[in-house]
Structure 1
Amino acid sequence: MVFFRILVGLLLLAGILCFAMYAGTRQVVWRQRGLVIIKWTVLAALGFFAVLIVQRVVEML
């Protein structure tokens, strides 16, 4: 559980750093990388929370 939290945090940090590089250099490649990292981080987090919800529902039954 802690591993996934750290992983998501590091991915969000990487996305923010990419956006900071874009703001500093105005190179579009940094914005594209940041968007890709954030997109996949959000999708992974949604999948992780879906698994947690399913586990809770199964425990209730």
Structure 2
Amino acid sequence: MLNKIHQFFYKLPDLVKFFYLTVLTAATLDYFFEDGLTVFKVIVITVVTIFNCLIIFKPKEK
């Protein structure tokens, strides 16, 4: 299931993928931590976005 979702992102431009992941991660963390933007939250957003980028931007298997 997760692989099928990630396959959808392969067709999008890289900048769109990165922007989407950053916004999605920030929105998710804002939902869970409603006390505003903190340094910890910025670090977590960056780490989760990089992790997702490593999954989505990996080379396609032939």
| TM-score, normalised by the number of residues in structure 1 | 0.48
Structure with more contact order per residue of length (Cα contacts < 8 Å, sep ≥ 6): 2
> When the two structures are superposed, what TM-score results if normalisation uses the length of structure 2?
0.47
Instruction: Please identify which structure carries the higher helix content.
Output: 1
